[in-house]
């Protein structure tokens, strides 16, 4: 009897100990590390950014992610969309290396960005089905009402569950490939979230929104609007606007984070969880081999990493490097033929045939967005286009910078300010403009004014809003175009200018004839210096 009683007491004590251990495990403070990227835009390998080589890339990101996973038990790796459309080692292979790299890193979820709709519907479905990490979007459905992919996922961690749901900007309907959009519908982001989040609260302890909406000043746009009207979200991981943050943005006590662009940074958020509820949050953007030039005490200059150098994962590097090697072969392909040379030497002084080519291609690249005209800074046109066969490499030499095609909306008064500024630019400066069809004006250096300005045959209307296409450098105020900072709306297509020009040439049959169109008339002169001339390489 005593032995039996002793056994029962022992069993009871063991059960009590097990229950208390389980209770302690569930009530103890825990951490969930949320690693995230967004708008990586076809940058699978390290690249040159701000004239510094070796920035970013999936192999270095893989090393960093492995280091963090080794020191934290609860880690999510998320991407907020737009892995498509970027550098040639991605573009030429329809983002195949990007997707292989993301699969290697074992992403937990990837939101659908607007650039996932850039190509064909068949390619979109192929990309969705090509890798294990699920693509998520709760507001994108096929025409028959089914989800295009997954609306959300649930991840089980020791002691708590996390729901991650996706949203895609409804703006996709007007800025992406219309042929793809024939197959899908995109519902209002907030309306979908308002219905979905209460359901997810019943299934999980923590709710994270992985969205491609954008961060804007306007609280009625993008992820700020989501947080404003759906406050029962623990964290919003955002993309689309390529926003560089130093700290989270809070709306309704909901933190919103975004990790800039191109994989230059890895976002790292740490959620503190007590009793299955979020009780704290910290966040940082970790630079991936970003360096700054510093001046030493002896006056010498050197590049120093913002953090320690991150080595590249050798296995992933070996997997991706062949794509870069194949790009060299791809760039040798002939895309057209020039009847005569498109000279670059006067591009900073007057209208030129090569300037017209670049500006017209810019306008064509956003032909579905009701753009009024395109303008390019001549400093971005770096060499002549030789007569004879035109290869992709020639276009990469004409426009070597990683400038993307951007559309901005400006009030008529700001458009007038743009032309007033043009009249002050000395000939020879990189800010001298080249413009597309639809624009004619006179630069009168004697009066210091732009005169006879016509946009699609009409004078500037100060009360109208104009849509203007340009490159990302100029759109950000580069070369003195400060008025672009007043844009009421800004859309970065993430299409590199050189790739748009290539597609433009192919679309028009490849036959090019250098022509002046009488778009810019010059009266007088305002010389600054002899602009550099970059002679074309042999075809």
On whether residue 18 sits in a domain, the answer given is no
Answer yes or no: is 531 within a domain. Answer: no
Give φ, ψ of 200 to 5 degrees. -70, -30
Residue 435's contacts (CB-CB under 8 Å, 6 or more residues apart) are 351, 355, 359, 373, 374, 375, 376, 519, 520
Q: Are residues 395 and 304 in the same domain?
A: no
Q: Are residues 138 and 268 in the same domain?
A: yes
pLDDT score of 530: 41
Same domain for 339 and 234?
no
pLDDT digits (tens, 9 = 90+) for 269-285: 999 999 999 999 999 99
Write the CA distances from 330 to 64, 239, 266, 510, integer angstroms: 31, 31, 31, 17
The enclosing domain of 302 has a CATH number of 3.60.21.10
Question: Among residues 300, 324, 348, which one ends one of the domains?
Answer: 324
| Residue 459 belongs to some domain of the structure | yes
Q: Which segments of the chain have a pLDDT < 70?
A: 1-27, 51, 527-539
- Same domain for 306 and 268: yes
The total number of structural domains that make up the chain: 2
Residues 311 and 449 in one domain: no
Whether 136 and 201 share a structural domain: yes
Q: Which domain holds residue 340?
A: 334-523
Could you give the CA distance from residue 311 to residue 104 in angstroms, rounded to a whole number? 16
What pLDDT, on a 0 to 100 scale, did the predictor assign at position 535? 36
Cα 188–Cα 490–Cα 97 angle in degrees, nearest 5: 80
Tell whether 17 is covered by a domain.
no
pTM here?
Answer: 0.76
Query: How far, in Å, CA of 15 to CA of 312, rounded?
Result: 49
Residue 537: per-residue pLDDT: 37
Q: What is the pLDDT of residue 16?
A: 52
> Is 243 among the domain residues?
yes
| 280-286, Cβ contacts within 8 angstroms, sequence gap of 24 or more | 281/235, 281/248, 281/255, 283/247, 283/248, 283/255, 283/257, 285/244, 285/245, 285/246, 285/259, 285/260, 286/64
Q: How far apart are the first and last CA of the chain?
A: 100
Query: Are 148 and 198 within one domain?
Result: yes
Helices 96-105, 58-71: axis angle to 10 degrees equals 10
Q: Would you state the pLDDT for residue 6? A: 55
313/439 same-domain check: no
Q: Is residue 430 part of a domain?
A: yes
Residues 302 and 342 in one domain: no
Q: How confident is the model at residue 94, as a pLDDT?
A: 92
Q: Is residue 159 part of a domain?
A: yes
Residue ending a domain, choose from 324, 357, 377? 324
Same structural domain, 429 and 481 = yes
Q: Residue 357: inside a domain, yes or no?
A: yes
Element (H, E) at 161: strand 160-168
pLDDT (0 to 100) of residue 408: 95
519 in the same domain as 387 = yes
Question: What does the pLDDT read at residue 295?
Answer: 82
Asked if 464 and 398 touch (Cβ cutoff 8 Å), the reply is no
Instruction: Give the domain CATH number at 351.
Output: 3.90.780.10
Same domain, 45 and 192: yes
d(CA 161, CA 158): 8
Task: Pick the last residue of a domain from 324, 348, 382.
Answer: 324
């Amino acid at each position: 009897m005593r032995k039996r009683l002793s056994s029962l007491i022992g069993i009871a004590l063991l059960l009590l100990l097990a229950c208390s251990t389980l209770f302690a495990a569930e009530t103890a403070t825990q951490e969930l590390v949320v690693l995230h990227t967004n708008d990586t835009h076809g940058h699978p390998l390290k690249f040159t950014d701000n004239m510094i080589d070796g920035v970013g890339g999936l192999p270095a990101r893989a090393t960093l992610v492995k280091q963090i996973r080794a020191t934290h038990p609860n880690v999510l790796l998320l991407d907020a969309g737009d892995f498509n459309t970027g550098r040639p080692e991605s573009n030429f292979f329809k983002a195949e290396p990007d997707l292989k790299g993301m699969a290697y890193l074992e992403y937990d979820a990837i939101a659908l960005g607007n650039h996932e709709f850039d190509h064909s519907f068949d390619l979109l479905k192929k990309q969705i089905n090509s890798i294990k990490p699920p693509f998520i979007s709760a507001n994108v459905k096929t025409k028959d009402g089914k989800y295009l992919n997954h609306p959300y996922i649930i991840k089980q961690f020791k002691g708590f569950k996390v729901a991650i749901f996706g949203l895609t900007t409804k703006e996709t309907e007007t800025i992406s490939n219309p042929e793809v959009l024939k197959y899908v519908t995109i519902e209002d982001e907030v309306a979908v979230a308002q219905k979905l989040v209460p359901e997810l609260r019943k299934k999980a302890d923590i709710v994270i929104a992985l969205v491609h909406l954008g961060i804007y000043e306007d609280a009625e746009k993008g992820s700020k609007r989501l947080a404003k009207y759906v406050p029962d979200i623990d964290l919003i991981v955002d993309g689309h606007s390529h926003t560089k943050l130093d700290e989270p943005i809070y709306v309704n006590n909901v933190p919103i984070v975004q990790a800039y662009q191109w994989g230059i940074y890895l976002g790292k958020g740490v959620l503190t969880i007590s009793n299955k509820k979020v009780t704290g949050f910290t966040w940082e953007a970790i630079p991936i081999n970003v360096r700054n030039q510093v001046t030493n005490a002896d006056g010498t200059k050197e590049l120093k990493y913002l953090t320690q150098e991150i080595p590249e994962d050798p296995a992933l590097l070996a997997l991706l490097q062949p794509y870069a090697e194949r790009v060299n072969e791809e760039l040798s392909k002939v895309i057209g033929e020039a009847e005569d040379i498109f000279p670059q030497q006067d591009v900073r002084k007057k209208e030129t045939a090569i300037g017209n080519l670049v500006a017209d291609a810019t306008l064509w690249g956003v032909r579905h967005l009701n753009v009024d005209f395109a303008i390019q800074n001549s400093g971005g046109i770096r060499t002549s286009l030789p007569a004879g066969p035109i290869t992709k490499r020639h276009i990469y030499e004409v426009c070597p910078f990683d400038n993307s095609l951007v559309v901005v909306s400006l009030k008529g008064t700001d458009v007038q300010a743009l032309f007033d500024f043009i009249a002050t630019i000395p000939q020879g400066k990189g800010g001298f403009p080249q413009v597309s069809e639809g624009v004619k004006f006179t630069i009168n250096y004697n009066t210091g004014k732009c005169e006879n300005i016509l946009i699609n045959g009409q004078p500037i209307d100060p009360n109208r809003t104009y849509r203007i296409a340009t490159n990302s450098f100029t759109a950000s105020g580069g070369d003195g175009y400060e008025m672009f900072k007043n844009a009421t709306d800004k859309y970065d297509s993430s299409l590199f200018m050189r790739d748009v020009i290539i597609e433009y040439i192919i679309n028009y049959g490849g036959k090019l004839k250098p022509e002046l169109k009488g778009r810019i008339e010059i009266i007088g002169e305002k010389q600054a210096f002899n602009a550099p001339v970059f002679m074309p390489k042999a075809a």
